[in-house]
């Protein structure tokens, strides 16, 4: 192994090696009994004062889930999940939903301060509203009043069920049906909280919306459900961040995100995923099994997914776009980093159904240590998708000889006027590039960081400014930081 490679491994290790969000908040919690059965589902539903249709839907999902096989096709290896050895509901004790920030348990507030998520509106960067989800419940949602002035609904999904039941009932499960896959079905049965967003026709959401997910309790799974509806001609940019404490056990995170874009609407969804990745030997860490799907229902609508996946022991995630409306656009920009024993099987699906639909996929994978990652993507052009266009680019960067990078794209074209292009490359950091930098007096470590940054640039540029900072920190600045 040459010096450049060992330096690169060191620098990448420093990104994920010291996980600084690994602390535990000591707080009084209310949990449902361990295990999963119909009573637990009734308990969750009762806790949230849900209408009977929703309980019925949950139970239908649960009964379906019982007979569903685990998805086996991903290139991941882990021991089977014991679904009975987990808590499905855990919430910080609160008398009632806090009316103002001052009513929130100070311990909770400190947690979010430590995470760098400002819940106090005046302290925030202007222009980001936050929904903070702690284990199973949403603890606070900021800037609601300002948003309401524009007609934007931004609240936890539990509240939305109470306050906007018609919208929830109409759209919940309409993109990801409860029968979709084992993890999504489990989520449909036991989802506890999540975010609901509705942007009325013609409104450009005045600020970035964001949710910060935190898993805290032991032996607890987090099952949040996010539903975003952008009505005709509206625009919204939504950000999502996540962290969890360091534990030796594996915790399950099975979320479902549904996006609906109507005529000429646009949704931009960004994720910086930094769940606890487990230690260097692969002990502990989050199983991140997420189903994210957006439907471009209207003409000229657009859904754009951007993800920076650095955490989790195992990532199983395929944010997808169903391009139903004519001239609709789907985008997927992804950076995935696997280090130590991390595994990631991630990618996207672009289903072209409408005429002149376009999609673009840019996936950048960095694999180091014993990490293994797979890009798995599907581009399907239906027989009616005349003039559809897709371009896919997948690049993998390998650092060290024990890691793996795999590319598994599926291309199904049933329309001759469609144009589908796929390109993929795999390489290590080239000696030429390093030599060029070193020759100009740039130290080796900086040069490696520079090359990695350049490799990811195309995707990092897609992130909203507020998030780009955090992402850069994860991908780039940490690399440079280790140089000292």
Contacting positions for another protein (CB under 8 A)? 5, 73, 383, 396, 398-428
Helix (H) or strand (E) holding 8: helix 3-17
Select 62 or 316, whichever has its Cβ closest to another protein.
Answer: 316
Q: How far is the CB of 377 from another protein (least distance, A)?
A: 10
Here the tokens at position 480 are 């440079």
Q: How far is the CB of 480 from another protein (least distance, A)?
A: 22
DSSP labels for 156-211?
EHHHHHHH-HHHHHHHTTSSS-TTS-HHHHHHHHH--B-EEEEE-TT-B-SSEEEE
Select 71 or 206, whichever has its Cβ closest to another protein.
Answer: 71
Residue 289 C-alpha from the chain's centroid: 10
| Distance set, CA 261 to CA 17, 129, 178, 234, 362 (Å) | 39, 21, 20, 9, 22
Q: How far is the CB of 214 from another protein (least distance, A)?
A: 35
| Distance set, CA 14 to CA 18, 272, 343, 387, 484 (Å) | 6, 18, 18, 46, 12
Q: How far is the CB of 370 from another protein (least distance, A)?
A: 11
Cβ-Cβ contacts under 8 Å for 347 (sequence gap 6 or more) = 318, 334, 363, 374, 375, 376, 377, 378, 408, 409
Q: How far is the CB of 363 from another protein (least distance, A)?
A: 12
Select 92 or 369, whichever has its Cβ closest to another protein.
Answer: 369
Helix or strand or coil: residue 264?
coil
Select 360 or 428, whichever has its Cβ closest to another protein.
Answer: 428
Q: How far is the CB of 132 from another protein (least distance, A)?
A: 40
Orientation of helix 444-460 relative to helix 465-472, angle to 10°: 150
Compute the radius of gyration of the chain from its Cα atoms. Answer: 22
Q: How far is the CB of 406 from another protein (least distance, A)?
A: 5
Select 274 or 407, whichever has its Cβ closest to another protein.
Answer: 407
Q: How far is the CB of 420 from another protein (least distance, A)?
A: 5
Orientation of helix 431-439 relative to helix 444-460, angle to 10°: 120
Contact 49, 162 (CB under 8 A): yes
Select 106 or 383, whichever has its Cβ closest to another protein.
Answer: 383
Task: Tell me the helix, strand and coil percentages in the chain, rounded to 5.
Answer: 25, 35, 40
Cβ-Cβ contacts under 8 Å for 356 (sequence gap 6 or more) = 326, 327, 386, 387, 388, 389
Select 72 or 122, whichever has its Cβ closest to another protein.
Answer: 72
Select 70 or 421, whichever has its Cβ closest to another protein.
Answer: 421
Cβ-Cβ contacts under 8 Å for 306 (sequence gap 6 or more) = 268, 269, 270, 271, 333, 334, 459, 462, 463
Q: How far does the chain reach from its first CA to its final CA, in angstroms?
A: 23
Residue 375 C-alpha from the chain's centroid: 16
Select 54 or 411, whichever has its Cβ closest to another protein.
Answer: 411
Select 40 or 403, whichever has its Cβ closest to another protein.
Answer: 403
Q: How far is the CB of 430 from another protein (least distance, A)?
A: 10
Select 64 or 406, whichever has its Cβ closest to another protein.
Answer: 406
Select 419 or 483, whichever has its Cβ closest to another protein.
Answer: 419
Cβ-Cβ contacts under 8 Å for 170 (sequence gap 6 or more) = none
Q: How far is the CB of 365 from another protein (least distance, A)?
A: 10
| Distance set, CA 478 to CA 12, 117, 204, 334 (Å) | 8, 19, 35, 19
Please work out, in degrees rounded to the nearest 5, the angle formed at the alpha carbon of residue 309 by the alpha carbons of 307 and 314: 135
Q: How far is the CB of 317 from another protein (least distance, A)?
A: 19
Q: How far is the CB of 429 from another protein (least distance, A)?
A: 9
Helix or strand or coil: residue 403?
coil
């Amino acid at each position: 192994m040459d010096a450049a490679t060992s330096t690169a491994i060191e620098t990448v290790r420093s990104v994920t090696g010291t996980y600084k969000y690994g602390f535990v908040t000591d707080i009084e919690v209310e949990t449902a009994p361990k295990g999963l059965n119909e009573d637990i589902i009734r308990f969750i539903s009762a806790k949230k004062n849900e209408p009977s249709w929703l309980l019925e839907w949950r139970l239908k999902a649960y009964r379906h889930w019982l007979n569903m096989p685990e998805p086996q096709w991903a290139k991941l290896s882990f021991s089977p999940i014991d679904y009975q050895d987990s808590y499905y509901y855990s919430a910080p004790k609160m008398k009632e939903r806090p009316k103002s920030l001052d009513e929130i348990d100070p311990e909770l507030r400190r947690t979010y301060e430590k995470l760098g998520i400002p819940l106090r509106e005046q302290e925030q960067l202007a222009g980001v509203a936050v929904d903070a989800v702690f284990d199973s419940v949403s603890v606070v949602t900021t800037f609601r009043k300002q948003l309401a002035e524009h007609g934007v609904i931004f609240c936890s999904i539990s509240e939305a069920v109470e306050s906007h039941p018609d919208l929830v009932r109409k759209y919940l499960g309409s993109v990801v049906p409860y029968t979709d896959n084992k993890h999504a079905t489990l989520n449909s049965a036991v989802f506890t909280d999540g975010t609901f967003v509705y942007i009325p026709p013609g409104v450009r959401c005045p600020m970035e919306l964001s949710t910060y997910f935190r898993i805290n309790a032991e032996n607890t799974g987090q099952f949040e459900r996010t539903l975003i509806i952008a009505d005709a001609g509206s625009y919204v940019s939504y950000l999502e961040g996540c962290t969890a404490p360091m534990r030796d056990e594996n915790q399950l995170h099975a979320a479902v995100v549904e996006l609906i874009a109507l005529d000429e609407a646009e949704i931009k969804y960004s994720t910086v995923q930094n769940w606890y990745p487990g230690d260097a030997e692969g002990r502990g860490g989050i199983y991140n099994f997420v189903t994210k799907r957006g439907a471009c229902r209207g003409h000229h609508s657009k859904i754009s997914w951007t993800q920076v996946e650095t955490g989790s022991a195992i990532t199983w995630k395929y944010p997808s776009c169903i391009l139903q409306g004519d001239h609709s656009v789907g985008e997927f920009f992804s950076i995935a980093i696997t280090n130590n024993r991390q595994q990631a099987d991630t990618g996207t699906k672009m289903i072209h159904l409408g005429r002149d639909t376009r999609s673009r996929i840019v996936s950048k994978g960095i694999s180091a240590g014993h990490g293994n990652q797979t890009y798995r993507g599907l581009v399907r052009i239906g027989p009616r998708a005349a003039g559809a266009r897709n371009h896919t680019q997948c690049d993998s960067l390998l650092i060290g000889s024990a890691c793996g990078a795999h590319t598994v794209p599926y291309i199904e074209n049933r329309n001759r006027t469609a144009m589908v292009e796929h390109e993929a490359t795999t390489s290590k950091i080239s000696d030429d590039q390093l030599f060029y930098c070193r020759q100009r007096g740039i130290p080796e470590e900086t040069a490696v960081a520079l090359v990695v940054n350049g490799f990811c640039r195309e995707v990092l540029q897609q992130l909203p400014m507020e998030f780009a900072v955090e992402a850069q920190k994860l991908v780039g600045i940490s690399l440079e930081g280790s140089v000292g």
